[in-house]
Amino acid sequence: MIRNAILRRPAANFADGLTTGLLGKPEFAKAAQQYQSYCDALARCGVTLTILEADPAHPDSTFVEDTAVLTEKQAILTRPGAKSRQGEVSNMRGPLREFFSLFAEIEAPGTVDGGDICEAEKHFFIGLSQRTNENGGRQLAEILAGGGYTSSFVDIREMKSLLHLKSGIAYIGRNRLVVTEEMASRKEFAEYDLIRVKAEESYAANCIRVNDHVLIPSGSPMLKSDLEHLGYSVIPLEMSEFQKMDGGLSCLSLRF
């Protein structure tokens, strides 16, 4: 059961953040509307929101997921792989202290982006990417093991289509993973029931289950149909302006 979520409003200079730049510059007013719809959807799912003020010193800071990995009892502060984002982590410590008393941190030279970490019940998939390195992954695995969790590595460093692991997979309960076609053949996921996302809807692989609902990006009718056929209640959300900044649904909140 997800009871809480921490979010940070996008800053007016949101478009100055990191991006591959392939989809054009986001419109801030439109991004703000989409962000509000996202917040409303989480509230509809029964989640209590802590919404932090925008941080213009860090244009990417609305993507709070990258700053921490959360377990039932512990907050693990990350060390983002992009140096321009590392200052976002200290700004998250205070809000997390309202909910967690046990903390751990990833230390240099390790790097971890929360977007590379996919929690599947008591197991964590740790993506090794251009943002999360092996040293950081090992540190995280040791911390998780201390809390009674298992983990495994998924190396996506050669997969140019994925910025983060969760750009290509999402765990939605019932031993089910939503995966892009190119991730479906990975041996790491052999024990899971896979819901394959067609290539033309690949962005929708970054979806999130929030209690009785699954939030997916709008414009993904095939995935929506597949999920509804399996009995999920689906909430589509317009995410175009965040997609322009290489962000997705999971990136915009820390949920616990």
Is it the case that residue 130 has pLDDT exceeding 90?
A: yes
Per-residue pLDDT tens for 179-217?
A: 999 999 999 999 999 999 999 999 999 999 999 999 999
Burial class (CB in 10 A: 0-12, 13-18, 19+), 65: buried
Question: Looking at residues 114-124, what average pLDDT do you find?
Answer: 98
Question: Looking at residues 225-247, what average pLDDT do you find?
Answer: 98
- CA dist., res. 236 & res. 30, Å (int): 16
Question: Looking at residues 70-87, what average pLDDT do you find?
Answer: 98
Per-residue confidence band for 38, with pLDDT thresholds at 50, 70 and 90? very high
Residue ranges with strand state E in the chain: 4-8, 48-52, 68-70, 74-77, 102-105, 117-120, 123-128, 150-155, 169-171, 176-180, 193-197, 208-210, 213-217, 233-237, 254-255
pLDDT of residue 83: 97
pLDDT of residue 207: 98
Domains and CATH numbers, the chain: 4-255 (3.75.10.10)
DSSP codes of every residue in 55-82? -TTSTTTT-GGGGEEE-SSEEEE-B-SS
Residue 112 DSSP SS3: strand
pLDDT of residue 104: 98
pLDDT of residue 122: 97
What is the residue type of 118? C
Say if residues 182 and 189 touch (Cβ distance below 8 Å).
Answer: no
Active site residues: 164, 251
- Mean of the per-residue pLDDT values of the chain: 98
Per-residue confidence band for 21, with pLDDT thresholds at 50, 70 and 90? confident
Per-residue pLDDT tens for 79-102?
A: 999 999 999 999 999 999 999 999
Say if residues 60 and 91 touch (Cβ distance below 8 Å).
Answer: no
Q: Which tokens in the block code for residue 233? A: 């209640």
Beta bridge partners of 134: none
For 138, list phi and psi in degrees, rounded to 5: -65, -40
Question: Looking at residues 157-182, what average pLDDT do you find?
Answer: 97
Residue predicted with more confidence, 21 or 249: 249
Q: What is the CA radius of gyration of the chain?
A: 17
